[in-house]
Amino acid sequence: MTGPRPWARTRHHTPLAWALPLVLGVIYGFYAAFIRRDGGPSTGGQVLLGLVSGVALAALCFALGRIQRSLPRELRAAAYGALTACAIGFLVSLTDTSVLRSTGLGLAVGAGVLVVSYYYLYSRET
């Protein structure tokens, strides 16, 4: 047998594939903790909230980046829109506003991301 076996191939990630979700997660986590702090002293619960939310967003961004090439453009745009809608809705919910406001703002921003990303993907793919 002279070539690499198909199952033995390893997949390497570019530095951007790791750095972009990591940076987004760190910024998102800091912002979530900052919103929850509300001008008072920092507590362990706020730090934990920021850490968990940042790790969750980074993991979801990395997972979406891994599978995005296998998705059709419509589903890829919907995935970007859904991820953005959930992230924005969660941040708005941390401000102690109503559920309707956080849902509405998350859906509005998510719909905007869906439309823009669909247009971008449609205009770039052949």
- The DSSP result for 53-68, as a single string, is HHHHHHHHHHHHHHHG
Complete DSSP assignment for 70-105: GS-HHHHHHHHHHHHHHHHHHHHHTTT--HHHHHHH
Q: Give this prediction's pTM.
A: 0.84
pLDDT, tens only, 52-103: 999 999 999 999 999 998 999 999 999 999 999 999 999 999 998 999 999 9
Sequence-distant (≥ 6) Cβ neighbours of residue 1 within 8 angstroms: none
Radius of gyration of the chain (CA): 18
Q: Which of 30, 18, 93 is nearest to 58 (CA)?
A: 18
pLDDT, tens only, 96-106: 899 999 999 99
Enter the DSSP assignment of 8: G
